[in-house]
């Protein structure tokens, strides 16, 4: 008789997803194939709510934050823009919820601090997975499956937080994510440098082309301009929130970038090719070490 393979058991039964955008929608689509799971969905956008109501595997759908908060959840998974995640945490604290909370925002310190102030059982998360498009219509289970997933448990968390972190690791392991754990502060320094700064840099480069050349330059651009500015095409509202939440790190990062650009500019001004080579050589070698795919 062939061996029976039972579906893996998820560590949560009733999961609430706040925000059915690119990340929340992708998470929902990745979770749906698991059996024995009830998904409770909140989104403020009428079109998204309409689309969500047609998904038979959602246990309930609402466009009201208060309704969402009152559901009998085992886990609330916040996938709203970072500022609205914090607002929802504050609302949850006021209502006195008893279930644990996680989020999928790109900055981790502000929401971790808000959850700590509110006394919630909280562990932040961040899927390293994004596209320059947004919204439920663009969401896909593949955006979550196999991605790097950072968990940032608060350093002063008690046994409930440890238990939540363990369960969140198990959940994302089942989703095929590569789960890593670090502090919220380390996360924000790291992703300031490798995610938020790249966005601002891509935008500043595209903005320079806009200021000095205008739209006439666009048909002439090759793959270099296209790739280097790609993330600059993203809807800026989300990124403005992220940048503001990580402003301290980004002020330092942009300062360092401006210093390096100043050095490159000086070598060009003085015609010092050796100096420019000394600057660019180690950078090229560094960039070539980036793991592929």
Footprint of a copy of itself on 115-144 (CB under 8 A): 128-131
Six token digits for residue 15: 């999961």
Give the residue carrying structure tokens 């502060």.
Answer: 185
Give the residue carrying structure tokens 């008893």.
Answer: 98
Q: How far is the CB of 156 from a copy of itself (least distance, A)?
A: 24
Considering the complex, state which of residue 162 and residue 268 has its C-beta at the smaller distance from a copy of itself.
Answer: 268
Pair 40, 28: CB distance under 8 Å: no
DSSP string covering 205-250: HHHHHHHHT-GGGGGG--HHHHHHHGGGGS-HHHHHHHHHHTHHHH
Choose, by CB under 8 A, the member of 67, 117, 160, 273 that binds a copy of itself: 273
Name the one range near a copy of itself by CB under 8 A: 16-24, 31-39, 64-72, 263-271: 263-271
Name the one range near a copy of itself by CB under 8 A: 23-31, 35-43, 97-105, 199-207: 199-207
Give the residue carrying structure tokens 């003085």.
Answer: 270
Considering the complex, state which of residue 54 and residue 289 has its C-beta at the smaller distance from a copy of itself.
Answer: 289
Does residue 281 bind a copy of itself (CB under 8 A)?
yes
Q: How far is the CB of 289 from a copy of itself (least distance, A)?
A: 6
Q: How far is the CB of 63 from a copy of itself (least distance, A)?
A: 25
Length of the chain equals 293
- Across 44-83, b (16+ Cβ under 10 Å) vs e yields eeeebbebbeeeeebebbbbebeebbebebbbbbbbbbbb
Choose, by CB under 8 A, the member of 3, 54, 56, 269 that binds a copy of itself: 269
DSSP, collapsed to helix, strand or coil, labels residue 82 as helix
Mask: binding to a copy of itself, 10-49, rule CB under 8 A, as x and -? ----------------------------------------
- Burial (CB < 10 A; 0-12, 13-18, 19+), residue 235, is exposed
- Residues 43-72 contacting a copy of itself, CB under 8 A: none
- Residues 206-235 contacting a copy of itself, CB under 8 A: 206-213, 215, 217-235
Considering the complex, state which of residue 37 and residue 182 has its C-beta at the smaller distance from a copy of itself.
Answer: 182
Which of these, 159, 160, 171, lies nearest to 11 by C-alpha position?
A: 171
């Amino acid at each position: 008789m062939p061996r029976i393979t039972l579906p893996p058991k998820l560590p949560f039964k009733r999961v609430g997803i706040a925000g059915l955008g690119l990340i929340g929608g992708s998470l929902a689509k990745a979770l749906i194939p698991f059996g024995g799971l009830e998904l409770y969905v909140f989104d403020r956008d009428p079109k998204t709510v309409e689309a969500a109501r047609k998904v038979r595997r959602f246990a309930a759908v609402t466009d009201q934050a208060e309704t969402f908060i009152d559901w009998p959840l085992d886990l609330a998974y916040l996938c709203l823009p970072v500022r609205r995640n914090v607002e929802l945490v504050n609302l949850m604290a006021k209502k006195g919820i008893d279930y644990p909370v996680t989020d999928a925002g790109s900055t981790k310190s502000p929401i971790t601090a808000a959850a700590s102030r509110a006394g919630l059982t909280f562990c932040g998360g961040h899927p390293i997975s994004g596209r320059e498009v947004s919204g439920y219509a663009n969401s896909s289970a593949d955006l979550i499956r196999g991605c790097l997933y950072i968990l940032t448990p608060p350093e002063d968390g008690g046994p409930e937080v440890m238990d939540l972190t363990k369960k969140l690791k198990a959940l994302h392991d089942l989703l095929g994510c590569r789960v890593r754990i670090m502090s919220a502060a380390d996360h924000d320094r790291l992703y300031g440098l490798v995610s938020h700064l790249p966005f601002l840099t891509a935008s500043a480069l595209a903005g320079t082309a806009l200021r000095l050349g205008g739209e006439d330059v666009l048909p002439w651009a090759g793959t270099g301009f296209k790739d280097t500015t790609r993330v600059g095409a993203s809807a800026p509202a989300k990124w403005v929130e992220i940048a503001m939440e990580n402003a301290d790190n980004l002020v330092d990062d942009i300062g360092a970038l401006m210093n390096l650009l100043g050095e490159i500019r000086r070598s060009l001004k003085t015609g010092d090719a050796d100096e420019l080579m000394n600057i660019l050589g180690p950078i090229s070698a560094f960039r070539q070490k980036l793991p592929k795919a």
